[in-house]
Amino acid sequence: MYEFVPRRLLVTGGCGFMGSAFVRWVAERRPEVRVTVLDKLTYAGNLANLKDVENKPNYKFVKMDICDFDGIYKLMQDEHVDGIIHLAAESHVDRSIKDPFTFAQTNVMGTLSLLQAAKLYWETLPEKWEGKRFYHISTDEVYGALELTHPQGIEPPFSTKASSGKHHLAYGAKFFTEDLKYQPHSPYSAAKASSDHFVRAFHDTYGLPTIVTNCSNNYGPYQFPEKLIPLFINNIRHRKPLPVYGKGENVRDWLFVEDHARAIDLIFHEGKIAETYNIGGFNEWKNIDLIKVLINTVDRLLGRKEGEDLDLITYVTDRAGHDLRYAIDSTKLQKELGWEPSLQFEEGIEKTVRWYLDNQEWMDNVTSGDYQKYYDDMYKNR
């Protein structure tokens, strides 16, 4: 298998949940690669997420907006960037419902400015596209919603290490495959879909060497606590109500974030240009069942009676346009590149809950805004 070997990597959104997991992954395992992280440090971006790598000689941080075309072009020149992994985005569906403009600005215009900067910079080089790669991280939410035809769950047509856990069910017979038509419903997924189209258009029109992956819901350490899993772990700990949207019947497919980081690394190096790969956990859960697992796990790890906090569950008004079921079929990735999730959900959730319980200070910092001070103290003299 041909392995693409970049030397100068630009990672956008590297201070977010998934971006930081990828930067930790690559900085540890590929010391020969220089990683420049570009991040605007919105409320969701936090330099403390990269504490583990901040002293590594192959890592550098630059505070910048992906909409800043001139800044990106110059940065690419200065750093001789030959590979881009693009994760920067506004990522929370509830925020997109309140403020769709910011999502169009960052996710669409920001992606476009990055594509154009990469195209113009790489075109100036004698070897042009050769040895270059633009990898765009997208979501399964662009495919829309699947029906929930089997409320009790059925045996899924996949078999992996992840699916040998206690719970492994599919809640419908259909899955998202790479050839499906995009049908986004939320302003978030509409903006991500639009950015995916721009990425493919840059390949088809100019020949830019692009790859797109669409991944299911990630969970793990360092996720901003407005997303279901970290928010609920924190609320259970502090015995605050758990706002379950609608009846809690919506289904999501969950993947441990380090498994996603490993998939990105593999696809970036060995995936085929112009291809799309779906990345999934083979791990569907109804929200309410997942929330009960969270309650039991937090209670047990805190020495409480298991299930003692079930009465925190509070059903609230449903999210507008709430997609019923997401379920990824990542057979293509499994067959072509041999990737599959390494963790069973039970192990992943235990690791995740432990991490949040052990890192209350991180939780307090990201929610209080103190991380801005951390940034100023850390970087004012650089």
Query: Can you give the binding site for ligand TYD, defined by CB under 6 A?
Result: 93, 217, 227-228, 231, 243-245, 250, 252, 287, 319
Report if residue 45 touches ligand NAD, rule: CB under 6 A. yes
- Nearest distance from C-beta of residue 219 to ligand TYD, angstroms: 9
Question: Longest Cα pair distance anywhere in the chain, in angstroms?
Answer: 66
Contact 284, 251 (CB under 8 A): yes
Nearer to ligand NAD, 112 or 312 (CB): 112
140 as an active site residue: the answer is yes
**Alpha carbon distance 325, 368 (integer Å):** 33
Nearer to ligand TYD, 210 or 213 (CB): 213
Give the residue closest to ligand NAD by C-beta: 16
* Amino acid found at 287: N
- Partner whose binding site includes residue 282, from ligand TYD, ligand NAD, none (CB under 5 to 8 Å by kind): none
DSSP-derived secondary structure letter, 224: -
Report if residue 137 touches ligand NAD, rule: CB under 6 A. yes
Tell me the window of 62-70, 116-124, 267-275, 367-375 that interacts with ligand NAD (CB under 6 A).
62-70
Q: ∠ CA 243-245-248 to the nearest 5 degrees?
A: 105
What length is written for the chain?
382
141 as an active site residue: the answer is yes
Alpha helix (H) residue ranges in the chain: 17-29, 69-79, 93-98, 100-103, 111-123, 187-206, 228-237, 257-270, 287-301, 331-337, 345-358, 360-368, 371-379
Contact 286, 249 (CB under 8 A): yes
Contact 12, 248 (CB under 8 A): no
**Alpha carbon distance 276, 274 (integer Å):** 7
**Alpha carbon distance 264, 21 (integer Å):** 11
Report if residue 253 touches ligand NAD, rule: CB under 6 A. no
Residues 6+ apart with CB under 8 A from 152: none
Report if residue 91 touches ligand NAD, rule: CB under 6 A. yes
- Nearest distance from C-beta of residue 246 to ligand TYD, angstroms: 7
CB-hemisphere CA count at 13 Å for 96?
23
- Partner whose binding site includes residue 118, from ligand TYD, ligand NAD, none (CB under 5 to 8 Å by kind): none
Tell me the window of 14-22, 262-270, 296-304, 359-367 that interacts with ligand NAD (CB under 6 A).
14-22
Nearer to ligand NAD, 226 or 289 (CB): 226
222 as an active site residue: the answer is no
- Nearest distance from C-beta of residue 257 to ligand NAD, angstroms: 8
Report if residue 88 touches ligand NAD, rule: CB under 6 A. yes
- Nearest distance from C-beta of residue 252 to ligand NAD, angstroms: 9
- Beta-carbon count within 10 A of 157 CB: 11
Nearer to ligand TYD, 252 or 262 (CB): 252
The correct pick among 87, 267, 298, 328 for binding ligand NAD (CB under 6 A) is 87
**Alpha carbon distance 191, 23 (integer Å):** 24
- Partner whose binding site includes residue 287, from ligand NAD, ligand TYD, none (CB under 5 to 8 Å by kind): ligand TYD
Catalytic positions are: 140-141, 188
Q: List residues near ligand NAD by CB under 6 A.
A: 12-13, 15-19, 39-42, 44-45, 65-67, 87-91, 106, 110, 137, 139, 192, 215, 217-218, 224
